Amino acid sequence: MPHISLARFSQSYGPLISLRLGSQILVVASTSSAAMEILKTHDRVLSVECNGAWKNLRTVCRAELFSTKVMESQAWVGEKKVMEMRFYQLEDDNKDGGMKGFGLDLQGLNKKTKELIARICSMWESVIRERREGASDDPSKQDFLNILIRSGYSDDQINQLFMELLTAGADTSSSTLEWAMAELIKSPESMKKVHEELAREISDNLPKASDLPHLPYLQACVKETLRLHPSAPLLLPRRASVSCEVMNYTIPKDSQIWVNAWAIGRDPMNWEDPLVFKPERFLNSAVDFKGNNLEFIPFGAGRRICPGLPWLQGFFL
């Protein structure tokens, strides 16, 4: 895996290494100090200049999709989904198991998924068309799609945005949940503590967003999973708009820059027993993934931190 190989290179050659891939210079940061300079100190020159359309879209997303107010108003959606999953589990208890839990695509599920994605895109087109034809000014009937239409976005732009949100949110969320379960299975003591906390705080009730502040050990398990297994081991690449100096090294103009979040989360300079799944390290710690602690950046940091972070906090924590 690239992030693992690059982490090994950094152990031999230092926190900031450069590679030449053909004519392209690639610079990789693998420590929190290097990440600080790239993501915050030199953020404006070590990123592609954004045009007005991009800035406007990010503003719309943050205000109308990922704001705290919107997250709170949509909390019932997650609670409803939990209830549906619970009833599905009750109905599914007596069914025979299949090959769904294995990586092999013997049942053609991956192929089917691709076909479904194509069908979803076609469904969006009809919904967008209906919204354009029956646009309403009633605030109670407004949602994110209405906001995009009112802001003047074309059908192609809306389709592209929806696909990006779907792909960015679905796989990253599911992979984190899978890693969390894998680590808990390997750590029966941690699994027992999570189970006891849930039984004590939730009992037989369905979990709600309001229960999350009362589940510190569960939150610690999620953070520890993200530390060891960030959903994006290499943060989105950047490009140097001008030459600049980082950690006494010159970064040439047009160099591509990667930040290895996987290596940073396992750096022994920042973490005791970095390869051990130990949720307790977060129980009495202020370290969080909001971008202020550069030793823990599964969602990035600085001005270009993941815009969906508020949603992810509600989903995982």
List, for residues 71-111, the tens digit of each pLDDT value. 666 655 555 555 555 554 444 444 444 434 444 556 777 77
pTM to 2 decimal places = 0.77
Q: How confident is the model at residue 216 (pLDDT cuts 50, 70, 90)?
A: very high
- Indicate if the pLDDT at residue 247 is higher than 80: yes
> Is 18 or 123 the better-scoring residue by pLDDT?
18
Task: Select the more confidently predicted residue: 295 or 81.
Answer: 295
Can you give the pLDDT at residue 70? 64
Say if residue 132's pLDDT is above 90: no
What's the Cα-to-Cα distance from 94 to each of 53, 57, 120, 135, 214, rounded to whole Å? 52, 47, 31, 46, 33
Strand runs (DSSP E) across 15-118, as ranges? Answer: 16-21, 24-29
**Nearest of 242, 295, 280 to residue 29 by alpha carbon:** 295
- Residue 210: Cβ within 10 Å count: 9
* Percent residues over pLDDT 70 in the chain: 78
Q: Out of 27-36, 40-49, 178-187, 306-315, pick the least confident.
A: 306-315
CA-angle at 227, arms to 222 and 233, nearest 5°:
120
pLDDT higher than 70, residue 13:
yes
Among the residue ranges 75-84, 210-219, 263-272, the one predicted with the least confidence is 75-84
**CA dist., res. 79 & res. 85, Å (int):** 10
- Residue 106's pLDDT is what? 63
Identify the band that residue 126 occupies on the pLDDT scale cut at 50, 70 and 90.
Answer: confident
Helix axes 309-316, 75-92, angle to 10 degrees: 40
Cβ contacts of residue 225 below 8 Å, gap of 6+? 176, 179, 180, 183, 277
Q: What is the mean pLDDT of residues 21-29?
A: 92
Is 50 annotated among the ligand-binding residues?
no
Q: What is the CATH number of domain 2-80+109-316?
A: 1.10.630.10
**Can you give the pLDDT at residue 46?**
86
